[in-house]
Amino acid sequence: MAFDRSIKIAPSILSADFADFGREIRAIEDQGADWVHVDVMDGHFVPNLTFGPPAVKAFRRHVTTVMDVHLMIAPVDPYIDAYAEAGADILTAHVEAGPHIHRTLQAIRGAGMKAGVALNPGTPAEAVAHLLDLADLVCVMTVNPGFGGQKFIDMTGKIARLREMIGDRPVHVEIDGGVDAQTAPLVVRAGADVLVAGSAVFRGGSVDAPEVYGENIRAIRAAAGAA
């Protein structure tokens, strides 16, 4: 994965048809998705349950772009190797998920993946100030994690602060939560370059009408590009 700061749209398959993930993944990639975002939840760190390593491994067969796996679980470290084996390209852990986030990021990189660190809305940018040389991506949550379809929380000040802190390091700023054509310009102006969108991409479409996914992706990308 070569690093660049071009805007990337990463549809979250949390909003896809759970009975047809293979075709859903192929549909969003065919319609212009840059990355495929996979939300892993444990019912403990966040109040929902989603996918484990076997499911992620099954998704991998269909992903030809970048599989961006976001762990909303605690603890993280015992599962790093399993997600590496499942084929994650990027593995993101929450700074709030455990006491030794340096060790976690080192272990993710050591397993051959890009390392991401996520921040809940209530966690300040400064929480990752000493992690930026260990991270390839910082994910700013613009909803409280656990469910799709939530209302966007304005974190533009935090995003701008992170972009300032990152400087010229090759670190992506990813936004996750409530991203659509209205909110995309706000976060891009503040310094984001990876936009996770779930319901805003999948709304109104299906594997039998994938062109709607394409329209939704293009609308978000156009709004972001106009920022």
- Three-class DSSP category at 104: helix
Which candidate in 34, 89, 136, 176 is catalytic?
176
Residues 6+ apart with CB under 8 A from 119: 94, 95, 96, 125, 127, 128, 138, 139, 140, 141, 158
Residue type, 93: A
Does an H or E element contain 92, and which?
A: strand 90-94
Residue 20 annotated in active site = no
Q: Render the burial of 108-125: b for 16+ CB within 10 Å, e for the rest.
A: bbebebbbbbbbbeebeb
Residue 176 annotated in active site = yes
Which candidate in 39, 68, 89, 180 is catalytic?
39
Is there a contact between 173 and 192 (Cβ–Cβ < 8 Å)? yes
CA distance 109 to 20: 31
Residues 6+ apart with CB under 8 A from 134: 102, 105, 106, 109, 115
Q: Which residues are catalytic?
A: 39, 176
